[in-house]
């Protein structure tokens, strides 16, 4: 094979490789475009659904919130209610409980005994929900349910969507704690302030003979053995 023939063959191989890459890139772009279109359509559908109807509060027997939620979801699947009942929500929040120096993470209901339902003010749909096992009543007047205001419902949705973990501890102000982590490890002193939302507390610690307020995380302290 002459040098020119070898060069031509190499150029042909490069051209084929370029065409293959271009074809693969085109297919990838098409797939991405299809995926993007599907995502946009889903987002529009969710937004349209969010604008439908009103939010109502259903009172149910304590401990039956998730069962009621499942039963209402079953109603939503029925054709006769697809345009009448849209969503059902049991607002939850993540909490951290520190008790006896043990840290336990759990999910708790924000409003025990209540379920939020997004629906049209339809008498037939309301009747079917009221007759579900575990349901006590709709919140409202004696004659009809009262929808939740947009402002109040926005607060509920934000709170339910907030992933900040609320910390619940069994410490008390003036209780003496021992520092087990951080630069003040080994010190002890009484609690002067507790901030459960931030997961912190302040303790009065004697440093160089002077009582000094020190801010500490809950996981940096423990109860002293009585």
pLDDT in tens, 161-189: 755 566 667 788 999 998 988 888 888 99
- Distance, CA of 95 to CA of 106 (rounded, Å): 5
pLDDT (tens digit per residue) in 40-82: 555 555 444 456 789 999 999 999 999 999 999 999 999 999 8
Identify the pLDDT of residue 85: 95
pLDDT (tens digit per residue) in 81-103: 989 999 999 998 887 777 776 77
Identify the pLDDT of residue 181: 86
Tokens of 54: 């009103």
> What top-level class would CATH report for the domain 54-164?
alpha beta
Tokens of 222: 């423990």
The pLDDT of residue 122 is above 50 = yes
Tokens of 97: 């409980």
Identify the pLDDT of residue 151: 87
CB 74 within 8 A of CB 89: no
**Torsion angles phi and psi, residue 149, rounded to 5:** -65, 155
- Distance, CA of 219 to CA of 201 (rounded, Å): 10
The pLDDT of residue 104 is above 70 = yes
**Torsion angles phi and psi, residue 95, rounded to 5:** -130, 155
**Strand positions, DSSP E, the chain:** 54-60, 85-89, 92-99, 102-109, 114-119, 135-138, 166-169, 176-179, 188-195, 200-207, 210-217, 221-223
Identify the pLDDT of residue 48: 47
**Average model confidence (pLDDT) across the chain:** 80
For the beta sheet containing 135-138, the strands, ordered from the edge strand earlier in sequence to the opposite edge, are 85-89, 114-119, 54-60, 135-138
pTM summary value: 0.56
- Distance, CA of 12 to CA of 15 (rounded, Å): 5
In the DSSP assignment, the letter for residue 129 is H
Q: Where are the domains of the chain?
A: 1-51, 54-164, 171-223
> What top-level class would CATH report for the domain 171-223?
mainly beta
């Amino acid at each position: 094979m002459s040098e020119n023939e070898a060069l031509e063959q190499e150029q042909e191989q490069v051209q084929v490789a370029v065409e293959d890459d271009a074809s693969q890139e085109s297919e990838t772009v098409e797939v991405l475009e299809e995926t993007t279109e599907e995502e946009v359509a889903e987002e529009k559908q969710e937004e349209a659904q969010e604008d439908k109807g009103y939010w109502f509060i259903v009172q149910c027997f304590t401990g039956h919130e998730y069962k009621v939620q499942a039963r209402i979801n079953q109603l939503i699947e029925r054709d006769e209610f697809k345009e009448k009942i849209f969503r059902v929500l049991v607002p939850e929040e993540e909490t951290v409980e520190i008790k006896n120096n043990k840290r336990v993470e759990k999910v708790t209901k924000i409003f025990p005994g209540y379920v939020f339902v997004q629906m049209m003010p339809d008498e037939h749909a309301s009747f079917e929900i009221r007759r579900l096992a575990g349901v006590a009543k709709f919140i409202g007047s004696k004659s009809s349910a009262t929808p939740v205001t947009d402002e109040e419902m926005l607060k509920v949705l934000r709170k339910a969507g907030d992933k900040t973990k609320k910390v619940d501890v069994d410490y008390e102000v003036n209780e003496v704690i021992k520092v087990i982590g951080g630069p003040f490890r080994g010190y002890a002193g009484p609690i002067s302030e507790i901030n459960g939302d931030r997961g912190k507390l302040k303790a009065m610690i004697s440093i160089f003979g002077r009582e000094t307020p020190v801010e500490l995380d809950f996981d940096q302290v423990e109860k002293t053995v009585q």
